[in-house]
Structure 1
Amino acid sequence: MNIEINHVGFMKRTVASTLDAVIYSLASFLFKDFILILYIVVEILMITRFGDTPGKLLLKIYIKDANTFTDVTLK
């Protein structure tokens, strides 16, 4: 099994986090009372279901298990 690993640098992670913040702050206008709960639930669902947060998806950054290089799960 030949897997190529490319680690993402600081700036690309910063941009992805900034995109996440923008996306979540736009959503906060719709769900003002539940924003913290919404943020936590969406973050967990996005990472376990899609392997990424919205900002990481836009920048094609993938979160993988360090030992198996598979998508992360709640198990």
Structure 2
Amino acid sequence: MGRLILFVTGACVLSGCSLDPKAWETAPVTVQTAQGPVVCQLYSENIQTWDRAISRPETMSVEQGDAICLAEGRRRDAAG
């Protein structure tokens, strides 16, 4: 795993691409849940590691919101 990260980082540096998450952001999406809407900041395909909730119901933990967004990012990538 460490070699893969090192390879990807090196490839990005050599190709001039940015490792700044803002460079990979997509438009925020809203996911409806039983507790209420969760607004997710998703990133480009294959970068679900950064997917996170930017708005969630008060009754939902940060971890729950982020998990919902991570699942949504994976779902969209699989539907691709």
Judging by fraction of residues, say which structure has more helix: 1
Decide: shared fold, TM above 0.5: no
TM-score, with normalisation over the residues of structure 1?
Answer: 0.31
TM-score, with normalisation over the residues of structure 2?
Answer: 0.30
The higher relative CO (CA closer than 8 Å, separation ≥ 6) is in 1
